[in-house]
């Protein structure tokens, strides 16, 4: 999103009318990125207060909106503003009635408090001794600018990372890397399912490294952004600048590296970037949703290099850690939520910290806007979509096989057997697809459950069903029916039937049961 197709200078946005026109253009850009519903819900009562040399000041109606936008939309908001304003300063959010001067002097309540604590450089410590308030603010501002340039979010720090038995080793490794980069664990490979804190640790490493060594070059980026930069470099004949950007880093933090799977040219480029940094004794930190050896379509030489250093897994948190995380978030956000509500959420959402925090924010938002306490039944209804998503994690392979076999009038043993009739092969593919979608099993583990098949067969089955669902509505509806049945604890039974029964034609089965599959599984 750009204003008049070119970025403008911040000094050119003066006066109430100009601010309103500019803000509406920003909102239009947000709608393209986030969608109409999200923008209408969270930005309809948000306004641009002013732009100065230090920040773009955005006014929110209350603390709930401020926290939610910072937690979920701040990066997108900053990117939209960066496209609209030349040399755009960092975005800062405040609550209606607050003045930028007051917010600048004292960091906001919640996570910024711990982030500011994490952001003291040697220059700031000297300013503390001298009692120079202006120097302290300048030192903090310098660190924030360096952090922004590095791609870091000040929501994440080592101070506000809640340590439990599930993540103790990964936290210790992150601390070691931040304190002494490239001495023990390079590369550091952090893996886990989504929403368990990988990204938090990546950003925290970056902030701590900058705090300890202000002049070091730190770069955080997702693998997708790396790929997009590479494509831009190819298109603009600027691969030299692309390579210089990544290969001059002292610490490279690359998130979701599994995105590079199957992208040969980008893997080739990352391979040489990796080698250059390692040869220069630099620190590399990588995250993924699975360990290196389980990332399919990734070059063996990359897998080997990812395994050179230390690989650590972040496990789902136990109940005590989940409660501690939610209490910490409640205090950071400054919201009023009772302990029994926190325990209610922690007991029902077990495998995804991000999902758990989203549930807490929804409760806080509803109680804040409605001014009423919720009983247990009301909480169940309010968080139904969160708990359903969590329940999907509890689905077993046996339950999936039984549901698929019943739906397609087969025996479970036929799903694990070696018969390759089209009807059986399709049913087996559906069961493998659902197993990959609804369980945390690896491809190898799924293959073992289905009669000792290899991981390539499972991957092919998953991709094949996804492709066929896009083309065949009857198959898509059948798979969606099975998924709903499984994630709702088997409340519904039987099979999905198309509204009009499709007649068999020569060489084709009924599309509710098969789509003429001819491959081998």
**Segment 382-432, tens digit of pLDDT:** 888 787 766 655 678 988 999 999 999 899 999 999 888 988 999 999 999
Please tell me which residue, 85 or 463, carries the higher pLDDT value: 463
* pLDDT exceeds 80 at position 497: no
Mean pLDDT of the chain: 81
Q: How far apart are CA 433 and CA 427, in angstroms?
A: 10
Question: Do 361 and 71 meet the contact criterion of CB atoms below 8 Å apart?
Answer: yes
| Terminal CA-CA length for the chain | 47
pLDDT at 55: 84
Sign, CA torsion 455/461/462/464:
positive
Question: Do 512 and 476 meet the contact criterion of CB atoms below 8 Å apart?
Answer: no
Class of domain 168-313: alpha beta
What angle do helix axes 111-118 and 198-212 make, rounded to 10 degrees?
40
- Least confident piece of the model among 14-18, 20-24, 477-481, 510-514: 510-514
* pLDDT exceeds 60 at position 177: yes
Q: How far apart are CA 199 and CA 180, in angstroms?
A: 20
CA within 13 Å, CB half, 180: 6
C-alpha dihedral over 517, 471, 502, 514, to 10 degrees?
20
Those residues with Cβ within 8 angstroms of residue 215's Cβ, 6 or more apart along the chain or in another chain:
none
Q: How far apart are CA 43 and CA 48, in angstroms?
A: 11
Burial class of residue 403, CB neighbours in 10 A (0-12, 13-18, 19+): buried
Rg of the chain (C-alpha set)? 26
Q: How far apart are CA 48 and CA 429, in angstroms?
A: 52
- CATH number for domain 395-487, candidates 1.10.10.10, 1.10.1750.10, 3.30.70.3270, 3.30.70.270: 1.10.1750.10
In sequence order, what are the beta bridge partners of 309?
Answer: none
Band of residue 271 on the pLDDT scale cut at 50, 70, 90: very high
Written as six digits, the tokens of 467 are 């492709």
Could you list the beta-strand ranges (E) of 42-131: 47-51, 56-60, 91-95
Q: Where in the chain is the domain with CATH 1.10.1750.10?
A: 395-487
Alpha carbon 516 to its chain's center: 38
Question: Do 472 and 511 meet the contact criterion of CB atoms below 8 Å apart?
Answer: yes
Winning range, highest mean pLDDT, from 16-30, 83-97, 257-271, 372-386: 257-271
Class of domain 319-392: mainly alpha
- Least confident piece of the model among 43-52, 127-136, 311-320, 370-379: 127-136
pLDDT at 490: 42
* pLDDT exceeds 60 at position 496: no
* Domain 3-106 part of CATH 3.30.300.180: yes
Q: Where in the chain is the domain with CATH 3.40.50.300?
A: 168-313
- Give the distance between the most distant pair of CA atoms in the chain: 89
Burial class of residue 37, CB neighbours in 10 A (0-12, 13-18, 19+): exposed
DSSP string, 241-293: HHHHHHHT-SEEEEE-GGGGTT-HHHHHHHHHHHHHHHHTT-EEEEEESS-GG
218-222 and 251-255 as β-strands: parallel, antiparallel, unpaired?
parallel
Alpha carbon 146 to its chain's center: 23
Band of residue 174 on the pLDDT scale cut at 50, 70, 90: very high
What angle do helix axes 198-212 and 133-149 make, rounded to 10 degrees?
130
pLDDT at 13: 63
Q: List the strands of the sheet with 56-60, edge to edge.
A: 47-51, 56-60, 91-95
Q: Where in the chain is the domain with CATH 3.30.300.180?
A: 3-106
CA within 13 Å, CB half, 229: 17
Using a pLDDT cut of 90, give the percent of the chain over it: 38
Q: Where in the chain is the domain with CATH 1.10.8.60?
A: 319-392
């Amino acid at each position: 999103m750009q204003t008049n197709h070119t970025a403008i200078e911040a000094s050119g946005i003066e006066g109430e009318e100009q601010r309103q026109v500019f803000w509406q253009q920003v909102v239009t850009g947000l709608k393209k990125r986030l969608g109409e519903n999200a923008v209408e819900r969270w930005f309809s009562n948000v306004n641009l207060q002013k732009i100065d040399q230090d920040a773009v000041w955005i006014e929110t109606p209350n603390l709930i909106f401020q926290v939610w936008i910072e937690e979920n939309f701040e990066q997108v908001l900053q990117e939209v503003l960066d496209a609209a304003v030349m040399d755009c300063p960092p975005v800062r959010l405040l609550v209606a009635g607050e003045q930028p001067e007051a917010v600048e002097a004292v960091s906001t309540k919640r996570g910024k408090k711990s982030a500011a604590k994490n952001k003291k450089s040697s220059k700031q410590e000297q300013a503390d001794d001298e009692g120079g308030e202006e120097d302290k603010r300048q030192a903090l501002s310098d660190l924030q600018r360096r952090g922004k340039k590095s791609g870091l979010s000040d929501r994440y720090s080592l101070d506000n990372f809640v340590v439990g038995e599930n993540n103790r080793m990964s936290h210790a490794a992150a601390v070691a890397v931040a304190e002494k980069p490239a001495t023990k664990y390079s590369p550091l490979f952090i893996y886990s399912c989504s929403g368990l804190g990988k990204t938090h640790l990546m950003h925290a490493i970056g902030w701590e490294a900058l705090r300890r060594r202000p002049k070091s070059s730190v770069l955080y980026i997702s693998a997708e952004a790396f790929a997009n930069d590479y494509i831009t470099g190819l298109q603009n004949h600027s691969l030299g600048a692309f390579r210089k950007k990544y290969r001059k880093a002292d610490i490279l933090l690359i998130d979701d590296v599994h995105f590079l799977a199957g992208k040969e040219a980008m893997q080739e480029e990352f391979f040489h970037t990796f080698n250059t940094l390692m040869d220069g004794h630099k620190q590399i930190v990588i995250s993924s949703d699975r360990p290196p050896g389980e990332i399919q379509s990734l070059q063996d030489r990359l897998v080997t290099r990812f395994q050179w250093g230390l690989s650590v897994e972040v496990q789902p948190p136990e109940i005590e850690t989940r409660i501690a995380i939610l209490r910490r978030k409640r205090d950071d956000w400054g919201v009023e939520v009772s302990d029994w509500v926190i325990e209610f959420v922690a007991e029902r959402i077990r495998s995804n910290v991000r999902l758990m925090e989203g549930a807490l924010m929804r409760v806080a938002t509803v109680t804040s806007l409605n001014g009423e306490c919720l009983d247990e039944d009301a909480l169940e209804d309010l968080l139904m979509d969160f708990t359903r998503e969590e329940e999907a994690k509890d689905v077993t392979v046996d339950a999936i096989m039984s549901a698929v076999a019943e739906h397609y009038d087969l025996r479970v043993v036929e799903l694990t057997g070696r018969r390759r009739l089209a009807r059986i092969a399709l049913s087996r593919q559906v069961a493998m697809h659902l197993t990959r979608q609804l369980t945390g099993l690896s491809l190898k583990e799924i293959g073992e459950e289905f009669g000792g098949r290899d991981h390539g067969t499972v991957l092919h089955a998953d991709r094949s069903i996804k492709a066929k669902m896009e083309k065949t509505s009857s198959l898509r509806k059948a798979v969606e029916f099975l998924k709903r049945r499984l994630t709702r604890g088997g409340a519904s039974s039987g099979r999905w039937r198309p509204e009009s029964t499709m007649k068999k034609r020569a060489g084709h089965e009924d599309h509710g049961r098969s789509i003429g599959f001819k491959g081998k599984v």
